[in-house]
Amino acid sequence: TPLVVLTPSSPLTPLTPLTLRVVCVGDTHAVNIAVPPGDIFIHTGNFSTFAGAKVSEFINYVSRLPHKYKIVVGGFNENRLAAQLLQSQGRYYPKLLYLDGAATMLYGLRIYCATKVLTPNRLTYIPFNCINDIVISHYPPAGILDLVDNEHVGSIELLENLELYPPKICIFCGSSVSG
Higher pLDDT, 93 or 1: 93
**pTM for this structure?**
0.84
Q: What is the pLDDT of residues 48-97, one digit of tens each?
A: 775 545 777 888 888 899 999 999 988 877 776 666 777 776 667 778 88
Q: What is the mean pLDDT of residues 142-162?
A: 88
Range 105-122 average pLDDT: 83
Whether the Cβ atoms of residue 152 and residue 142 lie closer than 8 Å to each other: yes
* Integer Cα distance of 57 and 30 in angstroms: 8
CB neighbours of 19 closer than 8 A, spacing ≥ 6? none
Task: Give residue 1's pLDDT band: very low, low, confident or very high (50, 70, 90).
Answer: very low
pLDDT tens across 40-54, in order?
A: 999 998 887 755 457
Higher pLDDT, 64 or 12: 64
Q: Is 10 exposed, middle or buried (0-12, 13-18, 19+ CB in 10 A)?
A: exposed
Please give the pLDDT value at position 132.
93
